[in-house]
Amino acid sequence: VPAAVRALGRVGLDDVRGHLDGGIAAWRAAGRPLAQLAQLTPQQLHARRQGGEALAVVDVRSDAEWDEGHIAGAVHILGGELAGRLDELPAARPLVLACGSGYRSTVAASVLARNGVDGLINMTGGMQAWNQAGLPTEREAALAA
């Protein structure tokens, strides 16, 4: 638990109020509802956007990571600031969340879902996988929020 709290704090989520004793198995055994987060690989995301599908991208990485290169047309909102900046999310759905490796975007999806946002998809592998696939990025700081 302490390691998880530290990891969440590093991405701006520092109001951890508890943990699930027994993990997901205990949750399931108690008959609690489960939800799944849809996943898209970078290649699938790129192909679907190239095909004209309206998939809005929200990049939850740090300013420095954003400045190194991001997906064209993405909206930049730090993961730890999402709950306070819901009005800045693109109106289009679904929203594809992207980070460096796929971890922070998964946490960001949880924050958004908890705030009533639906139509969420995680980009599997994050920008690391996007870049490894040789997909295009932009570096213009003018798109940063």
Q: What is the mean pLDDT of the chain?
A: 91
The CA distances from residue 126 to 1, 17, 18, 96, in Å, are: 25, 27, 27, 11
Question: How far apart, in Å, do the first and last CA atoms of the chain sit?
Answer: 33
Per-residue pLDDT tens over the stretch 2-55: 898 888 888 777 888 888 889 889 999 999 988 889 999 999 999 999 999 999
As beta bridge partners, residue 39 has 122
| Tokens linked to 126 | 């994050």
Note the pTM of the prediction, 2 decimals: 0.79
Per-residue pLDDT tens over the stretch 96-120: 999 999 999 999 999 999 999 999 9
Contact 106, 18 (CB under 8 A): no
Contact 121, 38 (CB under 8 A): yes
Three-state DSSP class for residue 116 = coil
**Sign of the alpha-carbon dihedral angle for 20, 23, 28, 30:** negative
As beta bridge partners, residue 76 has 59
